[in-house]
């Protein structure tokens, strides 16, 4: 978590000290873990326009999803990457991110066994996992202030078992430039 905070601060500082034109966008959309396990994602994005065709993007995501009989996930991550913008308004982007994923067990019931042999109802708190991510994306800037986007996301849960677990998601949403 300490690493996550340091990296975030470095990325934010880099963006803020830039003299290039900066756009701020707020967005939100559907977050589908493995497409069909539903959730929502909200984001705030800082875009440094390096040229007409290129920009660097710093984005913070906050999201929540439900995977029945597995877990609920609450996540926050910060991604930084590159965006290529075409004259038509279409753009392609690639971000890498770091963040955290807090899970909550999703089941009919949760029990907890004690070392003394007692078994009682347990809480649903899961784990706080370190969650790096890889997010390519495609979007479209409409004339004016709005944009739509589709962002696949590959994200990890570390630690898991003796290594890490990976997940995929598809995000589809809408942003507004402030």
In this chain, which of 17, 36, 51, 88 binds other proteins, going by CB under 8 A?
36
- Find out whether 27 and 176 touch, Cβ atoms under 8 Å: yes
Cβ proximity to other proteins: between 32 and 81 the closer is 32
Shortest Cβ 130–other proteins spacing (Å): 11
Q: Which is nearer to other proteins, 111 or 144 (CB)?
A: 111
Min dist. Cβ of residue 173 to other proteins (A):
9
Q: Are strands 54-67 and 71-85 parallel, antiparallel or unpaired?
A: antiparallel
86 touches other proteins (CB under 8 A): no
Tell me which residue of 57, 14, 50 sits closest to 147, measured CA to CA.
Answer: 57
What does the H/E/C string look like for 115-158?
A: CCCCEEECCCEEEEEECCEEEEEEEEECCCCEEEEEEEEEEEEE
Segment interacting with other proteins, rule: CB under 8 A, options 15-23, 52-60, 61-69, 136-144: 61-69
Cα-based distances in Å from 140 to 53, 83, 104, 153: 13, 12, 35, 18
Count CA atoms within 13 Å of residue 64 on its CB side. Answer: 1
**Would you count residue 89 as binding other proteins (CB under 8 A)?**
no
Give the one residue of 6, 10, 68, 89 binding other proteins; rule: CB under 8 A.
68
Q: Is 28 in the site for other proteins (CB under 8 A)?
A: no
Binders of other proteins among residues 104 to 163 (CB under 8 A) are 105, 107-113, 117, 119, 122, 126-127, 157, 159-163
Give Cβ neighbours of residue 97 (< 8 Å, ≥ 6 apart). 59, 61, 77, 78, 79, 80, 132, 133, 134, 135, 155
Nearest distance in Å: CB 109, other proteins: 4
CB of residue 24 vs other proteins: minimum separation in angstroms? Answer: 25
Q: Could you tell me the smallest distance in angstroms from the CB atom of residue 1 to other proteins? A: 14
């Amino acid at each position: 978590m300490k690493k996550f905070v340091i990296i975030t601060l470095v990325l934010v500082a880099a963006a803020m000290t830039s003299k290039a034109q900066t756009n701020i966008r707020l967005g939100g959309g559907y977050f589908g873990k493995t497409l069909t396990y539903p959730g929502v994602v909200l984001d705030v994005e800082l875009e440094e326009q390096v040229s007409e065709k290129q920009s660097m993007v710093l984005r913070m995501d906050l999201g929540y999803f439900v995977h029945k009989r597995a877990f609920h996930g609450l996540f926050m991550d910060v991604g930084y990457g590159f965006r290529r913008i075409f004259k038509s308004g279409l753009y392609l982007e690639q971000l890498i991110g770091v963040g955290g994923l807090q899970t909550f067990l999703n089941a009919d019931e949760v029990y907890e066994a004690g070392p003394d042999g007692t078994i009682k109802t347990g809480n649903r708190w899961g784990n706080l996992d370190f969650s790096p991510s890889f997010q390519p994306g495609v979007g479209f800037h409409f004339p004016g202030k709005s944009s739509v986007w589709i962002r696949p996301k590959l994200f990890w849960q570390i630690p898991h078992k003796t290594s890490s677990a990976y997940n995929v998601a598809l995000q589809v949403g809408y942003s507004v430039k402030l």
